[in-house]
Amino acid sequence: MVAIDKNKPICVTGASGYIASWIVKYLLDDGFLVHATVRDSSKESSVAHLLKAANGAKGTLKLFDADLIQEGSFTKAIEGCELVIHTASPFVIKGFTDPYEALIRPAVEGTDNVLKSCNAVESVRRVVLTSSVASIYGDAVEILKAPGGVFTEQLWNNTSSESHQPYSYSKVMAERRAWEICKNQSRWDLVTINPSLVMGPSLTTQTQSTSIDVMRDLGSGRQRTGVPLLEFGIVDVREVAKAHISAGFNPDAEGRHILSAHTASLLQMATILRARFPKYPLPKKQLPKFLVKLVAPIAAGVSRDFIQKNVGYALKFDNSRSTSSLGVRYRPLTETLCEHFAQMIEDGLLKRR
Ligand code: NAP
């Protein structure tokens, strides 16, 4: 049981990111002193939305520069904090050639570095880590073997690797490393948040998060000929942010927490959006698996193995720990998707029609 002193600063790593910027905003609104780490605080595009959130809020924002692959670079930001919320980790699934350097090294070495700094700073009592459902399962087909046909916090992704699902591999290796480091000391405890695909309005247009790409691909017309039967767990970014804060301050919070409100296929998401945004070239058809297998490796750079193991499976997540232990209340899917889409139009990330 850990009671965090609310008068002490809270450290949030990767503060400029899609999820973290909501965490920072809520903390500032609640009057906290936030030690926010970014890679480069002199880059206006990385911090403008954080400064805007701080402007007029009850709390105070202090920016620190820190890089995941630079040992010791988080120590200064963590000094004086009892609570550290570690979100920084790349969430990209394409556009790189070396998965180790692009994903695995920053995720695993980064977790190592942040937690070593937590070990070095006497004040730290709790670490909340942004993990993922990607550290619970690797491919959708694993649902067939999940006890009761449901993904739970008991499960671990044992199938991803550097060459197959490297993002998922980066998340499971980082979370495993975090539990290992936690076990070897007794001053701070670890609580993990394991969200499925996070959607909902973003406070920044600069994020590289795949969450934004999924919505852009749906709304831009890129998928107008049809989409594979790919199903996702989906959760609103605002619920994910609040869950991190609740995990930080609930003295009894412990262990892993799946954050997933709904499951929907790409076509179901498009159908919900079309009702509100009828002028957009959203996909209307589901493509047969054999056709996806044939064209996806060339059209989308996705392997046949990925298609085989992920297309056509219905997912189910047990989110009961998030509601009982963290008090999460999930909003309707329509609200999450439509508010996200509307905000992307507003920000010029989708053409106004
Ligand atoms: P995001 O907007 O791209 O945020 C990622 C953050 O990581 C950025 O602030 C980025 O900083 C930081 N980062 C990346 N490489 C870094 C490095 N070498 N040193 C320091 N910081 C670095 O993506 P997000 O969706 O908010 O993801 C945040 C976390 O949530 C990640 O751990 C991700 O795995 C996890 N997650 C996301 C989802 C989702 O659907 N979005 C679902 C489950 C879990 P810069 O701004 O400096 O690049």
Q: Is 165 in the pocket of ligand 1 (CB under 6 A)?
A: no
The residues of the chain scoring below 50 in pLDDT are none
**Model-level pTM?**
0.97
Report CA torsion sign: 120, 125, 129, 135.
positive
pLDDT of residue 46: 93
Q: Find out whether 225 and 284 touch, Cβ atoms under 8 Å.
A: no
Q: Is 69 in the pocket of ligand 1 (CB under 6 A)?
A: yes
Q: Which CATH architecture has domain 10-346?
A: 3-Layer(aba) Sandwich (3.40)
pLDDT of residue 100: 94
Q: Is 17 in the pocket of ligand 1 (CB under 6 A)?
A: yes
Q: What is the pLDDT of residues 46-102, one digit of tens each?
A: 999 999 999 989 999 999 999 999 999 999 999 999 999 999 999 888 888 899 999
**130 CA to centre of ligand 1 in angstroms:** 9
Q: Which phi and psi angles does 204 have, rounded to 5°?
A: -130, 145
**151 CA to centre of ligand 1 in angstroms:** 23
**15 CA to centre of ligand 1 in angstroms:** 9
Q: Is 67 in the pocket of ligand 1 (CB under 6 A)?
A: yes
Q: Which of 25, 171, 293, 309 is catalytic?
A: 171
Q: What is the pLDDT of residues 314-344, one digit of tens each?
A: 999 999 999 999 999 999 999 999 999 999 9
pLDDT of residue 155: 98
Distances (CA, A) of 232 to 38, 41, 57, 264: 29, 34, 35, 6
Residue 110: alpha-carbon gap to chain centroid:
16
Annotation marks residue 25 as catalytic? no
CA distance 261 to 259: 7
Q: What is the mean pLDDT of the chain?
A: 96
pLDDT of residue 81: 98
pLDDT of residue 193: 98
At how many degrees (to 10) do helices 166-183 and 110-120 cross?
20
**52 CA to centre of ligand 1 in angstroms:** 20
pLDDT of residue 32: 98
Q: Is 171 in the pocket of ligand 1 (CB under 6 A)?
A: yes
- Show Cβ contacts of residue 186 under 8 Å, excluding neighbours closer than 6 positions: none
Q: Is 198 in the pocket of ligand 1 (CB under 6 A)?
A: yes
Ligand 1: which atom is nearest the Cα of residue 92?
Answer: 3
